[in-house]
Amino acid sequence: MPLPVALSLVDVTVRYGPRVVVDRLSLDVRQGEIVGLLGPNGSGKSTTLAVAAGVLEPAAGTVTVAGRGRAADPTRARSPRAWGWCRRCRPCTTN
């Protein structure tokens, strides 16, 4: 039996002015999954994570975290217990 969906993006679109940087992205991440976004610079990876974390609002589409939409329960959906995000962190090394 598949695990519950922890993060769901459905038809998410993000625009900066007239420029579309994420176009109708849909993605489900189940509990326990680890996901990486790969792509060239400017392809919308960081923007997608910012939308998922609640840092940016999409122009269209829905984001659900742990079964809760941000419109219905914005505090819980943005809770650090539900989501962690670190943008442009320096890599940790053991040296």
* Beta bridge mates, 38: none
Cβ within 8 Å of residue 16, ≥6 positions away: none
pLDDT at 77 over 60: no
- pLDDT tens-place string over residues 16-75: 999 999 999 999 999 999 889 999 999 999 999 889 888 889 999 999 988 888 766 655
pLDDT at 79 over 70: no
The mean of the pLDDT values for the chain is: 83
Supply φ then ψ for residue 92, to 5 degrees: -85, 135
Q: Distance between CA 33 and CA 29 in Å, rounded?
A: 6
pLDDT at 88: 61
CATH class of residue range 5-77: alpha beta
What predicted TM-score, i.e. pTM, was given to this entire model?
0.75
pLDDT at 82 over 60: no
